[in-house]
Amino acid sequence: MGLAMNGRPGMRAVVTGAAGFIGSTLAERLVAGGHDVVGVDCLTPYYDVVAKRSNLDGLLDSAGFTFVDADLRDCDVEGLLEGADVVFHLAGQPGVRLSWADGFGDYAGHNILATQRLLEAAKRRWVKRVVYASSSSVYGNAPSYPTAENASLRPHSPYGVTKLAAEHLCTLYADNWGLSTVSLRYFTVYGPRQRPDMAMHRLIAAALSGQPFPLFGNGQQVRDFTFVDDVARATMLAGTTDVPAGSVLNIAGGSSTTMVDLIQEVASACERPLEVRVTPAQPGDVERTGGSTALALELLGWRPLTDLSAGIARQVEWHRTRMASDTLIRTA
């Protein structure tokens, strides 16, 4: 596609979900790479809005960044995409556990309807590429590991159903309208700014504060953890590399680990013992995730570079810095 990735003038990118964990990291990397970024987010209350605002701290003063507080479910999306070369669509309602029962409406709206509105606007605006943040949750309990993209898709949670529906919307806009979409199936992303509902975040917070960690299930669940910098790099590559419209790729860290082993890793990185309280397994949680990244290597030249212990060390450092600044604020 020939969009410059080094030095201005770069591309004009729209990042949805720019106040979130991965979206804010991606927006920072894009701005640092010389690109103009419009960050869109409606700061949903899924977790503390103060944390989302602080994710934007480094960006709001950057010359290449503009923030728009807008909800993709009902805003003028075409207006947002004016002049955009690439849209990175990371906005969404994440997490498995709240997607049951009455929670489903939010998931359908933020994940399916918002994506359809965005794709329609991207089609009308002749956007060159739409990169969609899909999820390993589309596989459910996969038939084999490492799971390749052509494995059967049988989500195990309502969240996974909405992520898969939006992925199908991306491929059907590619097939019917030639819109150049790429869906990236992220596998459990971790690192600085990780969402507070995610296991790694809760684990490190528990270790550093000396609180017990509520473990869901027997600890034998396996997750393929992917460091956020690796995810941001893959996402940028997906925005600029020539790949077939409608491509779907796994983005996985290659570090499949049981929760029991993860608890030990985190305790040793924090140099603190961890008290674990076993609680019932949660409906919607799969037993195991593990993604093949052969296709991402072939099409994007991407492979994960950060191993689990280095990544955990980076996230622990982030938690420590945040705790220290919270203490300073409280004692000021």
Ligand X SMILES: NC(=O)c1ccc[n+]([C@@H]2O[C@H](COP(=O)([O-])OP(=O)(O)OC[C@H]3O[C@@H](n4cnc5c(N)ncnc54)[C@H](O)[C@@H]3O)[C@@H](O)[C@H]2O)c1
Q: Is 139 in the site for ligand X (CB under 6 A)?
A: no
* Smallest distance, ligand X to C-beta of residue 1, A: 23
Instruction: Answer whether 1's CB lies under 8 Å from 167's CB.
Output: no
Closer residue to ligand X, CB minimum distance, 20 or 33:
20
Helix (H) or strand (E) holding 247: strand 247-251
Using CB under 6 A, pick the residue from 36, 41, 85, 224 that binds ligand X: 41
Between CA 242 and CA 294 the distance in angstroms is 17
Instruction: Answer whether 68's CB lies under 8 Å from 40's CB.
Output: yes
Between CA 177 and CA 182 the distance in angstroms is 14
* Smallest distance, ligand X to C-beta of residue 272, A: 24
Question: Across the beta sheet with 247-251, what order do the strands follow?
Answer: 65-69, 36-41, 12-16, 86-89, 129-135, 181-186, 247-251
Between CA 215 and CA 278 the distance in angstroms is 5
3-state secondary structure of 136: helix
Residue located via tokens 């805003």: 75
Between CA 231 and CA 160 the distance in angstroms is 19
* Smallest distance, ligand X to C-beta of residue 279, A: 21
Per CB under 6 A, which region of 39-47, 120-128, 262-270, 273-281 contacts ligand X? 39-47
Q: Is 189 in the site for ligand X (CB under 6 A)?
A: yes
* Smallest distance, ligand X to C-beta of residue 152, A: 19
| Residue from 107, 159, 173, 190 carrying the catalytic annotation | 159
Between CA 267 and CA 302 the distance in angstroms is 31
What one-letter code names the amino acid at 186? Y
Q: Is 304 in the site for ligand X (CB under 6 A)?
A: no
Using CB under 6 A, pick the residue from 12, 195, 201, 319 that binds ligand X: 195
Q: Residues 111 to 130: which contact ligand X by CB under 6 A?
A: 114
Per CB under 6 A, which region of 20-28, 122-130, 141-149, 212-220 contacts ligand X? 20-28
Q: Is 20 in the site for ligand X (CB under 6 A)?
A: yes
Using CB under 6 A, pick the residue from 188, 257, 293, 306 that binds ligand X: 188
Instruction: Answer whether 287's CB lies under 8 Å from 141's CB.
Output: yes
Compose the 54-73 pattern: x for residues touching ligand X by CB under 6 A, - for all others: -----------------xxx
Instruction: Answer whether 26's CB lies under 8 Å from 55's CB.
Output: no
The residue sitting closest to ligand X, measured at its beta carbon, is 20
- Residue 129's Cα: distance from chain center in Å? 18
Using CB under 6 A, pick the residue from 42, 119, 127, 237 that binds ligand X: 42
Q: Is 135 in the site for ligand X (CB under 6 A)?
A: yes
Between CA 318 and CA 313 the distance in angstroms is 9
Closer residue to ligand X, CB minimum distance, 17 or 246:
17
List residues bridging with 213 in a β-sheet: 276
Cβ-count burial of 144 within 10 angstroms (0-12 exposed, 13-18 middle, 19+ buried)? exposed
* Smallest distance, ligand X to C-beta of residue 41, A: 4
Using CB under 6 A, pick the residue from 11, 15, 90, 151 that binds ligand X: 90
190 catalytic? Reply is no
* Smallest distance, ligand X to C-beta of residue 95, A: 8
Catalytic residue set: 159
> Which residue ranges make up the site for ligand X (CB under 6 A)?
16-17, 19-23, 40-44, 46, 52, 71-73, 90-94, 110, 114, 133, 135, 163, 186, 188-189, 195
